[in-house]
Structure 1
């Protein structure tokens, strides 16, 4: 859990630094910062997606996962978490924004929720999250090193997000703690029985989801990204099923 605690700390520090400078940045620069993060996220997504050894696994995982996510309305549920956090912790700051202008208040509330949801997704999807947290739970030094690298990246990203979206980003630290803490627990319980293929295909699916998230950050397509998250669970289950049936999911070409 040491790596997760470090990650939470860097997100908090980065978010506070971003809040300190955010009001000094004009909207045009804030949009440029978010678009820049979208470009980097797109690159990371493509790089991670290459981890697959058989595109059929990520394809099936994405299709099955999004069907489950849509049925459970995960995207809306995550937004409601953001709205609840805003109502509990962000109300005072938001109501101070030109209290008689409803449109400005509504925009501030939207930015809070968007900041929380977007930062949570960026910080909690990817190989450093899954592999780092699981290895950390298994007690492997590599796990802490991976999360230390992720912590540095997330610290700078949270600074940029907070400068653009505001205080909602700081609450993504809760998401980081819950998700990575849960994955560390998975590492403690079942980490040693997870095959390399399971981790590779989960990484690839995470990369595909990051590509979709980059489209949202660059304002290309407004996808309900959270509804794809079940694919991250489906991918290793598909690999486990194939291995149990004795199927060769990595055929030689």
Structure 2
């Protein structure tokens, strides 16, 4: 089932929220250690994906050009500004302790939807019927939901709806790509897209650990750049396609 990974992701967010509401008194040190553990796991996953590249020059070009585009439009700032606007609409008085279902919903949605794992995982599900990335993301989102629900309340659960719609749409779109792109070009795209996304995932992991403050959202255009670079390289036969 092509939407299996997306469904699992949404369910784990719901389960995590329920657990979080039952365990509201998690010690701060435990929360911190859990986030570090998740960050380390994400970093390793990203490294494994990054090493899959057969043409690392494509990865470098995609990341650099993607970063230029991302910084030019300041995607990270735009997303954060949107988050602040939504938070202002939900909680205009900004009173501490004045939490609502909408506030938890907005905050959790921004965390779970904005990120390269959602894009890369959904493409992987649609193109290769491989749900591993989305399942791992679901586990991460589930643990994060536990922590968020202890402070933001039951509204975190409802973020499962936009997560399902967003990732499901990307997955279904990806299933149509294979009908118009030659198999060998598609194989090259998947290989280099996976590696490029893997490096972004490494950045997410390092940010979660607290070692870096990389604006990962500004790297996201690199995923689109991969498509363009692979198309050019394939058309002019500049690289060997994976067997």
SS at match of 2:212: coil
Partner Cα separation in structure 2 for residue 85 and residue 172 of structure 1: 17
* Bigger shift: residues 17-26 or 46-55: 17-26
Alignment of 1:127-166 (within 5 A): 128-135=121-128, 143=129, 146-147=130-131, 149-150=132-133, 152-166=135-149
- The unaligned stretches of length 5 or more in structure 1 are 100-104, 136-142
Give the direction of change, closer, same or farther, for the CA distance of 1:155–1:83 in structure 2 (3 Å limit): same
Structure 1 50/151 Cα, relative in aligned 2: closer, same or farther at 3 Å?
closer
Shift of 1:33: 0.9
Q: Hey, what does 1:220 align to over in structure 2?
A: 211
Q: Could you tell me whether the CA contact under 8 Å between 2:47 and 2:198 is conserved in 1?
A: yes
Given candidates 199, 214, 235, the residue that maps to 2:190 is 199
**Aligned-pair distance for 1:82?**
3.0
Q: Which runs of 5+ in 2 are unaligned?
A: none
* Partner of residue 21, structure 2: 20
Measure how far apart 1:249 and its partner are.
4.8
Q: Secondary structure at the match of 2:58?
A: helix
Is 2:69 aligned against 1:63? no
2:118 maps to what in 1? 124
Label 1:123 to 1:210 Cα distance change in 2 as closer, same or farther (>3 A): closer
Matches of 1:159 and 1:8, distance apart in 2: 8
Q: Distance in 2 between matches of 1:123 and 1:17?
A: 23
SS at match of 1:79: helix
Distance in 2 separating the partners of 1:182 and 1:213: 21
Determine if contact 2:62/2:196 at 8 Å carries over to the other structure: yes
Distance across 2 between alignment mates of 1:21 and 1:64: 46
How far is 1:8 from its partner? 5.0
Partner of residue 182 from structure 1, selected from 170, 174, 186: 170
Please identify, of 20-29 and 215-224, the stretch whose mean Cα deviation from structure 2 is larger: 20-29
How far does residue 58 in structure 1 lie from its aligned partner after superposition? 0.5
Offset at 1:37? 0.5
**Per-residue deviation at 1:151?**
5.3
Structure 1, 40-49 or 229-238: larger mean CA deviation = 229-238
Q: TM-score normalized by structure 1?
A: 0.75
Q: CA 1:21 to 1:44, structure 2 compared with 1: closer, same or farther past 3 Å?
A: farther
Counterpart Cα distance in 1 of 2:206 and 2:160: 20
Contact 2:10 2:160 in 1 (8 A): no
Inter-CA distance 74–131: structure 2 relative to 1 (3 Å threshold): same
* Whole-angstrom distance in 2 between the partners of 1:217 and 1:58: 23
> Residues 213 and 219 of structure 1: is their aligned pair in 2 closer, same or farther, counting only changes over 3 Å?
same
CA RMSD of aligned residues (A): 3.1
TM-score relative to the length of structure 2: 0.78
Tell me: CA distance 1:216–1:169, structure 2 relative to 1, closer, same or farther (3 Å).
farther
